[in-house]
Amino acid sequence: MKCDHVFCRKKFSSTVWYCAFIFCLPVAVLAQSSPIGKTIDPYAYIFPKDIVATHGCVVSAHPLASAVGTWVLQQGGNAVDAAIAVQFALAVVYPAAGNIGGGGFMVIHLANGRNTVIDYREEAPGLANPNMFLDSTGRPNPRLSLYGALSVGTPGTVAGLWEAWKAYGKLPWKMLVQPATDLAAHGFCISAQEAQSLNDARSDFLSYNTQPIAFVKATRWKAGDTLIQPELAQTLMRIRDKGKDGFYAGETANLIVQTMQKYHGLISAKDLARYRAIERQPIEFNYNGYRIVTVPPPSAGGVMLQQMLTMIHFYPIDQWGYASPLSTQLMIEAERRSYADRAQYLGDPDFVRIPISQLLDTNYLHRRISDFTPAHPTPSQDIQAGRFPYESEETTHLCVLDSAGNAVSATYTLNNLYGSKLVVEGAGFLLNDEMDDFSAKPGTANLYGLTGSTANAIAPYKRMLSSMTPTIVLQDQQPYLLTGTPGGATIITSVFQTLVDILDFHLSPHDAVNNPKFHHQWLPDVVYVEKGFPDSLTQALQQMGYQIEKREAIGRTELIIRKRKNYIIGVGDHRGDDAASGY
């Protein structure tokens, strides 16, 4: 598919390059180690969804970011280098979710056989307290936890990328940040989806920022418009030149703290200085002869993925077949039971004791699913208490596989679309609203009628529970499949279904990504089905007694599969601007 705004190539004219040369000479010099404006034209790009590559492959939410990742691989960088450069690029070209003001998780498989996870989840500021989102009547106020300065957790992205690079990167750091710097300084043309999304957020941007910001202009955005982010470019230059300290100390840190003080947020210079990305042991388990490597708490994703896959595996689901009423019902019932456990037990492992071995015990999971009754739903009220909030698709996932066999599967986020909507004044980047992922009032229904548990209550420096589930599947100790998606609570069920679709039902990679998904999260006791979900299957589930609700897109799944050593398939989700790239 060709970008429909190639016409704006002319805007990236000699004038722009002249100005860049005169005013940004140092950038221009460094840009020699950047492909932007050379091999990558930010004004003429296409959206390749399904590709075959022979050496390395990158899939992400934006074609320019995927192209940056492939360029890094071609320069001799490894998958970790490429994943770092892609995340910096997404912070520019996909501002709804790509970020330096948020956080995430990176699952890494190294060619030497080692698996590891970098946790760069945001954490609560030191002055946070369990009641900070309750109003005078004691009820949670989601306006406060979702918008503006109070909703912001101390960002983790730059620390995470820095630690990953220090431990496992190969190319110079500057080379990984420079493409993003160029994209921010010189601009790129935006897609129809991005234009729509910026227009939708306009009134929120105006409500939560008193200074002009790059995301708001006098007229409505349209496909092909140029988005230039000069303040973000300056921030990226500081990160490029000073590494982690370019964000957590000095000018950027000052600008964050000043913005917090102006808008009554909590993040202090001390919070920024003490933030650390944490390297953690992945959750690993065998499934169908494959080795699944995925994310541990403070994401719920890995624990729940293992629970759900283990539960369905007590039944001959592969024989029941893809999208059959029975296999779909079994998966729904596994989802229901796992989400009930999540609400009760999961939180930041550095703050609460999580009974992981019990939750993952095969006998426990066997008992848990043993009351599965074909054609009869188990009412959620018969399982356990706890609920999860509805969330939309504004996180983002990326996968990178390099020619040496290193693999990275990373999901990072601002939480909601454009996070808190608050831009750091003078620094040009959006801050997350991740504080909403805590349970604002454990045990009590919030404004959406949803509850959480004390395991995920707010505490200073605690990390809020996540659903992000970046995952790598190994076959004979080699990367076979990389996947992940945004989608809040639906992330885990989407990854679960993608794996079952491929490992049990043998769907093509394209279909596993793009076919309609379904989601049950225990409470409310509803099966959400994505538009396009087969009517016959909906009717079969309704006849069994399931309550079905149709909803828009579920997730934006990215996938890489290596079929043989030199045969790599990359699939970007058709639901968004996602794109695969490779060589």
Q: How far is the CB of 341 from ligand DON (least distance, A)?
A: 16
Closest CA to 310 of 335, 329, 277: 335
Say how far apart CA 480 and CA 473 lie, in whole Å.
6
Specify whether 395 is catalytic. yes
Segment contacting ligand DON (CB under 6 A): 207-215, 350-358, 445-453, 484-492?
484-492
> How many residues bind ligand DON, per CB under 6 A?
16
DSSP helix/strand/coil, 510: helix
Q: Which DSSP symbol is given to 316? A: -
Residue number with CB closer to ligand DON (103 or 428): 103
Measured from the CB atom, the residue of 380 and 395 that comes closer to ligand DON is 395
**Binding of ligand DON by 302 (CB under 6 A):** no
Is there binding between residue 487 and ligand DON (CB under 6 A)?
yes
State yes or no: residue 325 binds ligand DON (CB under 6 A). Answer: no
What token pair was written down for 581? Answer: 């790239």
Distance CA 395, CA 531 (A): 20
Site string for ligand DON, 438-477 (x = CB under 6 A): ----------------------------xxx---------
- Which of 415, 439, 453, 471 forms a contact with ligand DON (CB under 6 A)? 415
Span of 125-133, 388-396, 493-501, 517-525 interacting with ligand DON by CB under 6 A: 388-396
Q: Which of 154, 181, 294, 395 is catalytic?
A: 395
Q: What are the distances in angstroms from CA 530 to CA 291, 462, 469, 519?
A: 29, 34, 20, 9
Q: Which of 95, 148, 486, 509 binds ligand DON (CB under 6 A)?
A: 486
Task: Tell me the backbone φ, ψ of residue 226, rounded to 5 degrees.
Answer: -95, 130
Q: How far is the CB of 442 from ligand DON (least distance, A)?
A: 17
Scored b (16 or more CB within 10 A) or e, 28-59 reads bebbeebbbbeebbbbebebbbbbebeebbbb
Q: Which stretch binds ligand DON (CB under 6 A): 108-116, 368-376, 447-455, 482-490?
A: 482-490
Question: Quick one: which segment of 8-16, 25-33, 75-83, 385-393 binds ligand DON (CB under 6 A)?
Answer: 385-393
**Burial bucket for residue 20 (CB in 10 Å: 0-12, 13-18, 19+):** middle
Q: How far is the CB of 342 from ligand DON (least distance, A)?
A: 11
Q: Which of 125, 179, 224, 488 binds ligand DON (CB under 6 A)?
A: 488
CA distance 583 to 66: 12
For 399-467, give the secondary structure using H, E and C: EEECCCCCEEEEEEECCCCCCCCCECCCCCCECCCHHHHCECCCCCCCCCCCCCCHHHECCCCCECCEC
Closest to ligand DON by CB, 317 vs 529, is: 529
C-alpha 118, offset from chain centre: 14
Give the CA diameter of the chain. 72
CB of residue 217 vs ligand DON: minimum separation in angstroms?
25
Residue (70 or 197) nearer to ligand DON, CB? 197
394 binds ligand DON (CB under 6 A): yes
Residues that bind ligand DON (CB under 6 A): 391-395, 413, 415, 434, 437, 466-468, 486-488, 491
Catalytic center residues: 395
